[in-house]
């Protein structure tokens, strides 16, 4: 088949593009280096439970069009993300809200909670925060910082909070209502039956061929010659042979365990906010879909330093990396037949709704 496009990567970005191109009669080849489609939103069914292989994924958006778009490919349930924090066995509601403040200090009204936070902020006497610790304390006071932020953040970044720049937490969501809904968005949920079906449906057209376990770099030069247009959703620095250096990421390790019990932690997401517990959170997958299976599956999430060859999860968008990305972006702009997209192509943390939005914007530019 003569293809119009090569799409590198079968994640959400590449799949939305392939789907939209096929709808317009274009022939698309998708190559994927993993042995499954769907990128990081991949879910696999184990023991009747949809396991989020690459970390907990909760769909949320304020954009009605994107919500309706994604609902074409799956029915969503009414899951609301309400994570809890476990600090040395004490349980607190997240995001920081009246339930959290009541448990911490026994306060009952928003006024009392505000007064408590103000009192702690004033006692700390921080004028100009010089690092993440000072920034957090100046925003929410010492108690919340010590119990719910410090250990978690230090594990996440692998560095002391006093050595992390203040800009990492510009704002901290503090809510003076008894509301445990983590997101403020209008629409939220989990696809009933998991995320993989969404990508399966996107790639189901006869005009799309998918080849798994195929790394673009095995045949880069041939692909560039053979395909009139390429949509590339892999790492942008790798595409250019790391000529300006390596963009940095934080990585994660997942430990998944099947347990012979019905309910392990009573919630989909529990954050471990002390410094001693080596993982940052435990996901209990069945709770995303209100499962009643006899067994349960949990995943412990361990943050780790990234090195070439590891899964790149979170871009480290500090000044040095952003500058390097800009230089790669300039090279990309000189390749009129290659479109760079997705979280790795743009070196940007994107939520799912943002990746769909970005892919649809590219589609619009390409076809209209
Ligand atoms: C731990 C974690 C939790 C998250 N939680 C949420 C959440 O709750 N809500 C939310 O909205 N978003 C969440 N996200 C973000 C979400 O995962 C992304 O928005 C989305 O997966 C990005 O899609 P993508 O297509 O850009 O990238 P990816 O899903 O990474 O897809 C890129 C694909 O390209 C393939 N590829 C790369 N290089 C090559 C190559 N050389 N050759 C062939 N194939 C290649 C990769 O294998 C991959 O399959 C989370 C992300 C992480 C890491």
Q: What is the pLDDT of residues 46-104, one digit of tens each?
A: 999 999 999 999 999 999 999 999 999 999 999 999 999 999 999 999 999 999 999 99
pLDDT of residue 34: 98
**Active-site amino acid positions:** 171, 175, 250, 281, 301, 349, 351
- CA-nearest residue for atom 35, ligand 1, is 9
Model pLDDT for residues 185-236, shown as the tens digit of each residue:
999 999 999 999 999 999 999 999 999 999 999 999 999 999 999 999 999 9
User: Is 234 close to ligand 1, i.e. is its CB under 6 Å away?
Assistant: yes
Tell me the whole-structure pTM to 2 decimals.
0.96
* Separation of CA 242 and ligand 1 centre (Å): 21
For Cα atoms 357, 182, 179, give the angle at the middle one, nearest 5 degrees.
135
User: Is 34 close to ligand 1, i.e. is its CB under 6 Å away?
Assistant: yes
Asked if 11 and 40 touch (Cβ cutoff 8 Å), the reply is yes
Average pLDDT across the chain, whole number: 97
* Separation of CA 41 and ligand 1 centre (Å): 6
Provide the 3-class DSSP secondary structure of residue 251. Answer: strand
pLDDT of residue 167: 86
User: Is 112 close to ligand 1, i.e. is its CB under 6 Å away?
Assistant: no
By percentage, how much of the chain surpasses pLDDT 90? 95
User: Is 41 close to ligand 1, i.e. is its CB under 6 Å away?
Assistant: yes
In the predicted structure, residue 122 carries a pLDDT above the cut 70: yes
Atom of ligand 1 nearest to the CA of 41: 21
pLDDT of residue 173: 83
Domain with CATH 3.40.50.720 in the chain: 5-79+187-248+316-367
CATH number, domain 5-79+187-248+316-367, options 3.30.360.10, 3.30.70.3340, 3.50.50.60, 3.40.50.720: 3.40.50.720
* Separation of CA 312 and ligand 1 centre (Å): 9
Contacts of range 97-106, beta carbons closer than 8 Å, 24 or more positions apart: 97/174, 97/175, 97/176, 97/177, 97/178, 97/179, 97/180, 98/175, 98/176, 98/177, 98/178, 98/179, 99/178, 99/180, 100/144, 100/148, 104/143, 104/144, 104/147, 105/143
User: Is 40 close to ligand 1, i.e. is its CB under 6 Å away?
Assistant: yes
pLDDT of residue 1: 66
* Separation of CA 252 and ligand 1 centre (Å): 13
335 — alpha (psi -120 to 50), left (phi > 0) or beta?
A: beta
d(C-alpha 17, C-alpha 202), whole Å: 9
d(C-alpha 323, C-alpha 335), whole Å: 20
pLDDT band at 127 (very low <50, low <70, confident <90, very high): confident
Asked if 269 and 180 touch (Cβ cutoff 8 Å), the reply is no
């Amino acid at each position: 088949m003569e293809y119009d496009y090569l799409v590198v990567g079968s994640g959400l970005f590449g799949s939305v593009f392939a789907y939209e191109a096929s709808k317009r009669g274009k022939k698309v080849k998708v190559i994927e280096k993993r042995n499954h489609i769907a990128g990081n939103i991949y879910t696999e069914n184990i023991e009747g439970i949809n396991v989020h292989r690459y970390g907990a994924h909760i769909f949320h958006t304020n954009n009605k069009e994107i919500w309706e778009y994604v609902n074409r490919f799956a029915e969503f349930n009414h899951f609301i993300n309400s994570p809890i924090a476990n600090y040395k066995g004490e349980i607190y509601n997240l995001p920081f809200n009246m339930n959290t403040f009541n448990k911490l200090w026994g306060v009952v009204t928003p006024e009392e909670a505000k007064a408590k936070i103000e009192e702690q902020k004033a006692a700390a006497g921080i004028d100009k925060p010089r690092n993440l610790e000072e920034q957090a304390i100046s925003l929410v006071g010492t108690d919340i910082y010590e119990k719910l932020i410090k250990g978690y953040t230090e594990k996440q970044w692998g560095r002391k909070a006093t050595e992390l720049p203040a800009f990492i937490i510009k704002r901290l969501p503090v809510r003076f209502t008894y509301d445990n809904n983590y997101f403020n968005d209008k629409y939220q949920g989990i696809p009933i039956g998991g995320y993989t079906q969404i990508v399966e449906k996107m790639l189901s057209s006869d005009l799309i061929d998918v080849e798994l376990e195929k790394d673009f770099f095995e045949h880069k030069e041939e692909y560039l010659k053979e395909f009139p247009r390429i949509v590339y959703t892999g790492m942008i620095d790798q595409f250019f042979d790391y000529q300006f250096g390596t963009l940095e990421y934080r990585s994660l390790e997942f430990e998944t365990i099947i347990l012979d019990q019905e309910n392990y932690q009573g919630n989909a997401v529990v954050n471990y906010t002390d410094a001693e517990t080596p993982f940052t959170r435990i996901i209990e997958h069945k709770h995303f879909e209100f499962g009643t299976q006899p067994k349960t599956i949990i995943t412990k999430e361990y943050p780790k330093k990234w090195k070439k060859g590891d899964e790149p999860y979170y871009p480290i968008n500090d000044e040095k990396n952003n500058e390097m990305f800009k230089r790669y972006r300039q090279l990309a702009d000189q390749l009129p037949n290659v479109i760079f997209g997705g979280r790795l192509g743009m070196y940007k943390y994107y939520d799912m709704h943002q990746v769909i939005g970005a892919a649809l914007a590219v589609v619009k530019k390409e076809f209209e």
